[in-house]
């Protein structure tokens, strides 16, 4: 049995679907089992990392697990540590952890230290692991849809920051490979798409797909920090997050990993957006 945490998320949902299609026994964890539908044969289990005891049932009888949540960077009680404790207690033999580009090896000291601690909960657990370190998800652009429903102006922070965006489908395919083979035991996999793009360029591609003239507005750095702080994050940490994203070439490296693991090129943004924005056209 393989447990997928974050099973309703961009990567997790793709991973559950893929594993189920491959005939793997899969259990999907969510805080809202009643609000979620998965493919036939998928076992659904309720689990909330804020309530560690709820994870006992989720990890019971599991051989391998995919670990993630969307916990805000800098949060005090690490969800990863809670998941790893549950995995250890259940005798899980193998985990695949969704981390971030460079895993805290570079960037703002506050942010980097948190990511190192997050990865450390896995790498120091004694459980065999594969660490996935993707750059920016293409699915971040899905946040534009509510603006596109109202008009042609889209507010895009970090609009001119170049990255190598990756499709959640590709991350899920790599995770599935790591969970179902021994190929990447105790390896760290830096992941990226195959092209360097700015969000401004991504919006231009979405405009072509939708056949609409779209206008980009980039909020100021201050406004971006305010926006993050309004979502509940300490303002100093929000400022650190913004600095972390903007500095250097963080998240803009092209890695050959997806092709090495899957034997095919990563999806381009054009391909991915064609699939996910098409219904708007
Ligand atoms: N977005 C990017 O560009 C990017 C880049 C690199 C790495 N990452 C990593 O990807 C992850 C987030 O991606 P995302 O923001 O796009 O998230 P997402 O795919 O929207 O997924 C959120 C998932 O987290 C689960 N979750 C949230 N709180 C939870 C809790 N208390 N207990 C258990 N599960 C919980 C949710 O489960 P429910 O069904 O219970 O709601 C949901 O399945 C983070 O680890 C981030 O560091 C993101």
CB proximity list for 64: less than 8 A, separation 6 or greater: 2, 3, 92, 93, 94, 95, 96, 179, 180
Which ligand 1 atom sits nearest the alpha carbon of residue 136?
3
Average pLDDT for residues 31-45, to the nearest whole number? 95
Can you tell me the distance from the alpha carbon of 213 to that of 154, in angstroms, rounded to the nearest whole number?
11
pLDDT at 278: 80
Convert the pLDDT of each residue in 42-84 to its tens digit.
999 999 999 999 999 999 999 999 999 999 999 999 999 999 9
Choice between 281 and 11, residue whose per-residue pLDDT is larger? 11
pLDDT at 249: 77
Convert the pLDDT of each residue in 175-192 to its tens digit.
999 999 999 999 999 999
Distances (CA, A) of 277 to 148, 197, 203, 266, 281: 10, 18, 11, 18, 7
Q: Could you tell me the distance, in angstroms and rounded to a whole number, from the CA of residue 204 to the centre of ligand 1?
A: 27
Largest Cα–Cα distance in the chain? 55
- pLDDT band (50, 70, 90) for residue 247: confident
Can you tell me the distance from the alpha carbon of 67 to that of 4, in angstroms, rounded to the nearest whole number?
7
Residue 174's closest CA among 263, 92, 252?
263
Q: Is the pLDDT of residue 281 over 90?
A: no
- The answer, yes or no, to whether any atom of ligand 1 lies below 6 A from the CB of 187, is no
Which ligand 1 atom sits nearest the alpha carbon of residue 6?
43
Average pLDDT for residues 265-277, to the nearest whole number? 98
Q: Which of 5, 9, 27 best tests ligand 1's pocket when mutated (most atoms within 8 Å of CB)?
A: 9
Domain limits of the chain? 2-280
Q: Is the pLDDT of residue 280 over 80?
A: no
Q: Could you tell me the distance, in angstroms and rounded to a whole number, from the CA of residue 8 to the centre of ligand 1?
A: 9
Distances (CA, A) of 22 to 61, 96, 159, 180: 20, 18, 38, 10
Q: Could you tell me the distance, in angstroms and rounded to a whole number, from the CA of residue 252 to the centre of ligand 1?
A: 21
Count the Cβ atoms, other than its own, within 10 Å of residue 159: 17
pLDDT at 251: 84
Q: Which of 29, 68, 189 best tests ligand 1's pocket when mutated (most atoms within 8 Å of CB)?
A: 68
- The answer, yes or no, to whether any atom of ligand 1 lies below 6 A from the CB of 30, is yes
For domain 2-280, is the CATH number 3.40.50.720? yes
- The answer, yes or no, to whether any atom of ligand 1 lies below 6 A from the CB of 32, is yes
pLDDT at 192: 98
pLDDT at 219: 97
- The answer, yes or no, to whether any atom of ligand 1 lies below 6 A from the CB of 98, is yes
Which ligand 1 atom sits nearest the alpha carbon of residue 31?
40
Mean pLDDT of the chain: 96
Can you tell me the distance from the alpha carbon of 178 to that of 167, in angstroms, rounded to the nearest whole number?
17
pLDDT at 139: 98
Convert the pLDDT of each residue in 121-146 to its tens digit.
999 999 999 999 999 999 999 999 99
Which ligand 1 atom sits nearest the alpha carbon of residue 101?
6
Convert the pLDDT of each residue in 199-243 to its tens digit.
999 999 999 999 999 999 999 999 999 999 999 999 999 999 999
Question: What SS3 string covers the chain?
Answer: CEEECCCCCHHHHHHHHHHHHCCCCEEEEECCHHHCCCCCCCEEEECCCCCHHHHHHHHCCCCEEEECCCCCCCCCCCHHHHHHHHHHHHCCCEEEEECCHHHHCCCCHHHHHHHHHHHHHHHCCCCEEEEEEECCEHHHHHHHHHHHCCCCEEECCCCCCCECCECHHHHHHHHHHHHHCCCCCCEEEEECCCCCECHHHHHHHHHHHHCCCCEEECCCHHHHHHHHHHCCCCHHHHHHHHHHHHCCCCCCCCCCHHHHHHCCCCCCHHHHHHHHCHHHC
């Amino acid at each position: 049995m393989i447990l997928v945490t974050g099973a309703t998320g961009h990567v997790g949902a793709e991973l559950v679907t893929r594993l189920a299609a491959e005939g793997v026994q899969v259990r999907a964890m969510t805080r809202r089992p009643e609000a979620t539908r998965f493919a036939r044969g998928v076992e659904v289990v309720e689990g909330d990392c804020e309530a560690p005891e709820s994870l006992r049932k989720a990890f019971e009888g599991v051989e391998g697990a995919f670990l993630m949540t969307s916990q805000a960077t800098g949060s005090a009680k690490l969800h990863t540590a809670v998941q790893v404790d549950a995995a250890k207690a259940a005798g899980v033999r193998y985990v695949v952890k969704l981390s971030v580009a460079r895993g805290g090896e570079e960037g703002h000291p506050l942010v980097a230290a948190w990511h190192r601690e997050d990865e450390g909960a896995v790498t120091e657990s004694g459980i065999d692991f594969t660490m996935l370190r993707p750059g920016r998800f293409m699915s971040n652009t899905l946040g534009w849809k509510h603006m596109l429903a109202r008009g042609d102006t889209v507010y895009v922070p970090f609009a001119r920051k170049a990255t190598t965006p990756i499709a959640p489908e590709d991350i899920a395919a790599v995770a599935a490979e790591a969970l179902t083979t021994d190929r990447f035991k105790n390896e760290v996999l830096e992941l990226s798409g195959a092209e360097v793009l700015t969000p401004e360029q991504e919006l231009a591609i979405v405009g072509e797909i939708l056949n609409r003239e779209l206008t980009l507005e980039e909020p100021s750095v201050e406004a971006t920090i305010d926006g993050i702080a309004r979502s509940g994050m300490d303002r100093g940490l929000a400022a650190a997050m913004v600095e972390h994203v903007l500095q250097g070439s963080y998240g803009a490296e092209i890695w050959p990993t997806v092709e090495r693991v899957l034997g095919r090129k990563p999806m381009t943004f054009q391909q991915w957006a064609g699939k996910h924005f098409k219904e708007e056209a």
